[in-house]
Amino acid sequence: MKNLPEEIKIVYIIAILVMMLFVGFIIFTVLMYNRKQLLYIKEKQLKESEYQNQLLQKELEKQKLIEKERERISHDMHDDLGAGISALKLQAEFLKQRADNDGLRNDIDELLKTSEEMNISMREMLWSLNSGNDTLGSFINYAKIYTQNFLKKTTILIITENENIVEETTISTEQRRNLFLCLKEALNNIYKHSQANQITLSFLQKDNEFIMKISDNGIGINHKNPAGNGLRNMKRRMEEQNGHCEITNGNGTHLFFKMYL
């Protein structure tokens, strides 16, 4: 290089400078392209996030409207239907006092019994509709009260157990309703068929898994006989909620209702 003419040296230097400028231009172009791509991706993600937020906001507004409608129906049922049932009971009691025929009194007693059953069913529906009850604590308290009321005229002893229950845990209206209907069916079967004198109602929570267990010390279930509609309905209800119903025998009957919250 030292022996080359000055003109050639200059050409070499210019060529090297041009190459360096060209490489620098390519690097700059790539960097700018990558920067634009990152900005485009971020802008796209931001728009997608805004769109998802809008969808979420609409869903929240929809849920609020549904809850508001549930509350309205609940209040209307309490004010209108509840008042109507109460008036019907009062009129029936008044007629019973004036009746002098045993057959008529028996009919009125049946009417009073029906009106009381309607009143109980209405209270259950009101509880189901109230979104303020969509917690494990609310469900468990109501389940205990219902069990005590259902069996209060029997000699069956009721034992309740709680384990690791986080009362504020959210449970959907459908989950709560189906669990309660399973509880009703199980208690009805125990009362009619088990010959038990003791029931243990247990509630267990493992993270997002909730288990309701109903055990009795009765004669158990004869698995040689086909399952009745009640057992099939309980299993179907749990399957619809992506849950599981298990029935075992051994010193009575044990029903497990498992559900993921």
- pLDDT tens digits, the chain, 261 residues: what are they? 555 567 777 777 788 888 888 888 888 888 888 888 888 888 888 888 888 888 888 887 877 777 777 667 666 665 666 667 777 777 777 777 777 777 777 877 887 788 777 777 777 877 877 777 889 999 999 999 999 989 988 999 999 999 999 999 999 888 998 999 999 999 999 998 889 999 999 999 998 999 999 999 999 876 655 456 678 889 999 999 999 999 988 889 999 999 998
Q: What phi and psi, each to the nearest 5 degrees, are found at residue 194?
A: -80, -30
For residues 79 and 143, membership in a common domain is answered with no
Question: In this structure, what token pair is assigned to residue 149?
Answer: 């009321």
For residues 98 and 185, membership in a common domain is answered with no
Q: What are the residues whose beta carbons fall under 8 Å from the beta carbon of 243, sequence distance 6 or more?
A: 175, 257, 258, 259, 260
For residues 25 and 47, membership in a common domain is answered with yes
Helix axes 173-189, 136-150, angle to 10 degrees: 20
For residues 192 and 227, membership in a common domain is answered with yes
Integer Cα distance of 217 and 153 in angstroms? 18
Domain stops at, among 97, 132, 167? 132
Predicted structure pTM score: 0.64
Q: How far is CA 165 from CA 46, 142, 158, 224, 242, in A?
A: 40, 15, 19, 36, 20
The secondary structure of the chain, three-state, reads: CCCCCHHHHHHHHHHHHHHHHHHHHHHHHHHHHHHHHHHHHHHHHHHHHHHHHHHHHHHHHHHHHHHHHHHHHHHHHHHHHHHHHHHHHHHHHHHHHHCCCHHHHHHHHHHHHHHHHHHHHHHHHHHHHCHHHCEHHHHHHHHHHHHHHHCCCCCCEEEEEEECCCCCCECCHHHHHHHHHHHHHHHHHHHHHHCCCEEEEEEEEECCEEEEEEEECCCCCCCCCCCCHHHHHHHHHHHHCCCEEEEEECCCEEEEEEEEC
Domain stops at, among 81, 108, 132? 132
For residues 245 and 142, membership in a common domain is answered with yes
* CATH number of the domain to which 234 belongs: 3.30.565.10
How many independent structural domains does the chain possess? 2
